[in-house]
Structure 1
Amino acid sequence: MIPNAYARTMLQQRSRIQVACNNGMQVVQGGLHKQVQLVCLCEWTFMLEPIENLYNELLVDSHHSYCLCVSVLHDRLSHKLDPIINERFMQIAVKRLKVWSNKADMEFGVEVEILARVRHKNLLSLRGYCAEGQERLIVYDYMPNLSLASHLHGHHSAECLLDWKRRVNIAIGSAEGISYLHHHATPHIIHRDVKASNVLLDSDFQAQVADFGFAKLIPDGATHVTTRVKGTLGYLAPEYAMLGKASESCDVYSFGILLLELATGKKPLEKISSTVKRTITDWALPLACERKFSELADPKLNGKYDEEELKRVVLVSLVCAHTQPERRPTMPDVIELLKGESKEKFSELENDEMFKAPQAAAAAADEISIAENSSDFISEEKDMNQEVKEIVQENTHNS
């Protein structure tokens, strides 16, 4: 809740951006900004601090192409008598494009279109957006516990706020959000960038899958779409990384990496020398085959986890990240396995061949690594190699 004194100060700022409802359309006006239309999907009136001030004081995340800032949102619709004193406030997040480009504008358009289509408790909700000239803003609900990545690897990791119960709930919530995209959205949607930094956490540590800039709509009857490679190294399914074939199964693969990351606390790619990187599955699969699950648990858990649940999470994560897409489960199957609802299916998973031949599995992983390092890594679509180089540069920049 924002104090009323602060509300009055906000209302008196001449350079504020204010949004007023007008027949479903909203007009943004501010002392330092020209008029900008904001099509809003809910009955809220927005008031944002000056964008310049947000960057200086309330910046919560920065990407090579956008900044994510925090401001307040207030509701006047239910208060008739004294709107200044009685207004209700809540925090919101504002994502603003740093530098306009055709590529960034396309990703912005995709994200707004996807967010406008979906509504699920485990998908980040759209509050509004702005597209005027080269100004691009997306307004979301603010997630006070930031991203899963910040708790596993970032500045919140030392606080150890993710106990085992929270991790399992985050895993199931994320799976349910992705499952909605794959099986209930019309048309079906592939996220294409499932990763720890795109799973946000609300005040109760409930998962919200976010960032739909790379998402793809799947036409009815299609099994996949062939497209340029987008995403994050370490999370890319082999068939997508090498051939550009995107499908729901690619998201399942990425979710498997995310799930293993959640259980182990390790990053998807780990440097083991100056020139060699090891994937999280290369490390985890042999230990899972030997049933050494305790060696896979995140040390920050201090042994405080349910052993059966840990085994279940690890095995599900590894079958999701199978190199052969036809061997991966669907997201509804993943949810059922994570919840322990089918002992028969889990028994089948435990006895799967992939957990009986660690040497063969390691050899298969080595083959994938060799392919990724070859000069003709991607050949099906023009400019795909450049896209991969951009992903590499992006990850280098972010690391």
Structure 2
Amino acid sequence: MRFVIAPDSYKGSLTSREVGAIMAAAVRREIPDAEIDVIPMADGGEGTVEALVEASGGSYEEFVVHGPLEPGTVARMGLIRVGGEPVYVIETANICGLPMVTAEGRDPYAATSRGLGEMIVHALDSGAARLIVGLGGSAVNDGGMGMLAALGVLFRDAEGRQLHGRGRDLLRVAGVDWSGLDPRLATCEITAASDVTSPLTGPAGATFVYGPQKGVTPGQAAELDEAMRRYADMLEPDASGDGLADCAGAGAAGGLGYALLRLGARIESGAEVVARAAGLQERIRGADWVLTGEGRTDAQTLSGKLPFRVAEWAAGEGVPAILVSGGLGPAIEPLYARFAAIFPIVARPATLDECVSEAEDNLMRCMRSITRLIKTARG
């Protein structure tokens, strides 16, 4: 029996590689002669660098960059080859990511994407002509101002003082000077990998939809959203009609999607970028089962999150898919049209901290039960 295991991470608990390894161990325990192909996945968020490097047999390099709040974060950049050409891979989640800040320390006014700009400079210093930037899991809501400042864009307030690109600077910015932008970006092809389709501003934008998980309070949201709109007008003074701020994905990673679009990047589905590099569809072909997973399954999964896409690719090859989730939220009934079955791994009523600490044991137990069902049904 042949299994393809292609999970996302259980964010804050297990990486996609760890999830895949546990799933594979459970299958082997119950079906020792099973053929298993483990493909760690990501959608542009946490684990994107690792997923692409593993899929492509690439390598890593570490750099010290600015974290979401303070300098001194050690982050990894990947180097892979696509079509024989070198491509550098970085992600917001390991530079200015939400898990890097405690729940009590999340501050949309203080957080900055500056470290991402510093990592792009490191890639350019290494000779990057093609760059993949994973957008997802960020702690920032600065419209990418910090990243742009690190790349040489000069922002000033009404008194002419230089701004360094924290969330609070959206409220103060009065002028922008592009003359210092790193000229090497003009010849660097940038792909922003993200499955977020939100525009930059408005009720469906970065601040209102994703801001609350980064510490934005209801009283701050309207002020920050309006400041983000003025900031976009400043960056695109000649935009007529719908500008880049209205593009799908501009609101990804607290507005980093917009800033990258302003640099000439194109936004692609993060799941598709990783799947293409891994040759996922070809590896699914001829399998008996596809197993995927994520930390929490809810209505957002229906909007094209990674497990949903994996199920689509499996269906295209006529292979049933099973979703194994850290937990189930509301409004998931339509997912049963896509998956042969959906399982939560939680074993008992528990706090979030308990679920995180018990994730490995719970996943192993759940996967053993699933595999035993498959084995029994097959006879």
Q: TM-score by structure 1 length?
A: 0.28
Considering Cα pairs closer than 8 Å and 6+ residues apart, tell me whether 1 or 2 has the greater RCO.
Answer: 2
Q: TM-score by structure 2 length?
A: 0.29
Mark the structure with the bigger radius of gyration. 1
